[in-house]
């Protein structure tokens, strides 16, 4: 007999199943990278899984064994950076979580199948474009050297090479419109070495 406790989702179970599904969904696509624990705003938060391609789509996991205590603060940070966001949530937290997250976040329910014990996902709401993105926060996805490299190529690095990284990010956000900045950031994230990520076969940028 299956115990109720056996049907509770965990971060490990959801993460493994989600990444497996994302690999299938994006198989054969050009310039697609799946990244775990992507740090945002210099590590103020880490989104559990991110897909980097024509957009930056973050997936935040809240299993039945997790709490929602950190979610309000995570929302503020994610909304400043990510193009789209999907909450992947155990059914135990579904109703509470939906009351907290913005309307443009997508929602996937993760539950354990009684028949085979595997994680299954149910799409409750598709994500929409995030209207709250902030250019400086997006620039902070880059390492200092990466941001400075972009400015050098734009001939906009004069006077800031020795400045604090915040000054560099602010300069970058001023000299590039947000669409161009987002594209540049995705390119650097995609080609960044030594990441715990899955690089797939290519998908064109927007």
User: Angle CA(150)–CA(155)–CA(158) in degrees, nearest 5?
Assistant: 100
Averaged pLDDT score across all residues of the chain: 91
List residues bridging with 39 in a β-sheet.
46
Q: Is 7 helix (H, G, I), strand (E, B) or coil?
A: helix
Confidence band, pLDDT 50/70/90 cuts, at residue 200? very low
pLDDT class of 101 with cuts at 50, 70, 90: very high
- What are the pLDDT digits (tens) for 140-177? 999 999 999 999 999 999 999 999 999 999 999 999 99
What's the predicted TM-score (pTM) here? 0.89
Q: Residue 59 above 70 pLDDT?
A: yes
Q: Name the band, by pLDDT with cuts 50, 70 and 90, for residue 5.
A: very low
C-alpha to C-alpha distance for 65 and 198, rounded to whole angstroms: 26
CB under 8 A, 24+ apart: contacts of 144-150: 144/168, 146/188, 146/192, 147/172, 150/176, 150/184, 150/188
Mean pLDDT of 3-15: 81
Question: What is the phi-psi region of residue 28: left when phi exceeds 0, alpha when psi lies from -120 to 50, beta otherwise?
Answer: left
Read off the tokens for 153. 């190529």
Average pLDDT over residues 43-70: 96
d(CA 90, CA 11): 10
Tally of helices (H runs) and strands (E runs) in the chain = 7, 7
- Please report the pLDDT score of residue 195 as a whole number: 58
Do the beta carbons of residue 25 and residue 51 sit within 8 Å?
no
Q: How confident is the model at residue 194 (pLDDT cuts 50, 70, 90)?
A: low
| pLDDT band per the 50, 70, 90 thresholds, residue 201 | very low
Is residue 12's pLDDT more than 60? yes
């Amino acid at each position: 007999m299956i115990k109720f406790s056996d049907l509770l989702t965990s971060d490990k179970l959801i993460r493994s199943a989600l990444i497996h599904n994302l690999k299938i969904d994006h198989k054969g696509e050009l310039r697609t990278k799946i990244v775990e624990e992507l740090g945002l705003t210099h590590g103020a938060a880490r989104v559990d899984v991110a897909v980097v391609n024509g957009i930056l789509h973050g997936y935040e996991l809240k299993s039945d064994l997790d709490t929602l205590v950190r979610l309000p603060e995570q929302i503020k940070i994610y909304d400043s950076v990510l193009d789209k966001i999907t909450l992947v949530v155990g059914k135990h937290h579904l109703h509470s979580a939906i009351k907290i997250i913005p309307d443009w976040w997508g929602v996937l329910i993760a539950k354990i199948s009684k028949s085979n014990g595997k994680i299954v996902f149910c799409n409750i709401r598709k994500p929409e474009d995030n209207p709250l993105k902030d250019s400086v926060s997006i620039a902070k996805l880059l390492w200092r050297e990466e941001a400075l490299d972009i400015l050098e190529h734009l001939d906009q690095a004069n006077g800031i090479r020795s400045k604090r990284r915040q000054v560099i990010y602010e300069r970058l956000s001023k000299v590039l419109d947000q669409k161009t900045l987002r594209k540049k950031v995705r390119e650097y994230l995609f080609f960044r070495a030594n990441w715990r990520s899955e690089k797939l076969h290519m998908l064109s940028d927007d």
